Amino acid sequence: MILAGFGLFLLCVGMTLFFLLPSRSLVQDLRSRGVSAAATVIGVDSKPKYIRVRLVSSPKAGTEAKLSEYAGMLPETETGASVIVTYDPEAPSRVLTQGWVADPPANLPAYGTSALAVICLGLTTAVIWRRLRILRTLGPEESPAASTGGKEPSDESVRHTKS
């Protein structure tokens, strides 16, 4: 039980890092070396699974790129709309809208899994404290027979229900 709770805690921490680190590193990279440019939206999937943009005003004008997801989210837009994007000149496929680079949206998957990690750790700690309290109460020097007042259970005390 304790190992399972601790294992769930570690799993949730791993998932939190999986959701948090790529998004954070993308934003930090674009803030440090990103180039802002005007772009036109040339394709939007209806779900939206992807948003394709064509850079209009930059040294890489005419380059098409798929807008990067941030925490599994994409901004709401439509085909033909103009947007200001920030892209990485070393890897033009890393593109986010300028607004999301300046002020990224909440990373709900990372927040949710970190809350689950805290809950798992709390429940595991509660189980450990409970077991320690039980072991201190019973103690290793006491036998289960000693906890019954020193009387050994006898066959006479067992009540037969069948005749």
pLDDT in tens, the chain (163 residues): 788 888 999 999 999 898 888 888 888 989 999 989 999 998 888 776 888 888 888 777 778 888 887 777 788 888 888 999 999 888 888 888 888 888 888 888 888 999 999 999 999 999 999 988 888 887 666 555 555 555 655 555 556 566 5
Query: 36 lies in a domain?
Result: yes
The torsion angles phi and psi of 63, rounded to 5 degrees, stand at: -70, 135
Helix (H, G, I), strand (E, B) or coil at 85: strand
Query: 158 lies in a domain?
Result: no
Range of the domain at 50: 2-108
The closest of 46, 53, 45, 107 to 84, measured between CA atoms, is 53
Query: 74 lies in a domain?
Result: yes
Query: 115 lies in a domain?
Result: no
The torsion angles phi and psi of 142, rounded to 5 degrees, stand at: -90, 140
Query: 93 lies in a domain?
Result: yes
CA–CA dist 156, 159 (Å, integer) = 7
Q: Are 113 and 15 in contact (CB under 8 A)?
A: yes
Give the rounded distance of the alpha carbon of 48 from its chain centre. 22
Query: 163 lies in a domain?
Result: no
Query: 7 lies in a domain?
Result: yes
Q: Between the CA atoms of 73, 78, 83 and 88, what dihedral angle is there, to the nearest 10 degrees?
A: 50
Query: 152 lies in a domain?
Result: no
Q: What is the pTM of this model?
A: 0.63
Instruction: Identify the CATH number of the domain in which residue 23 sits.
Output: 2.40.50
Number of domains in the chain: 1
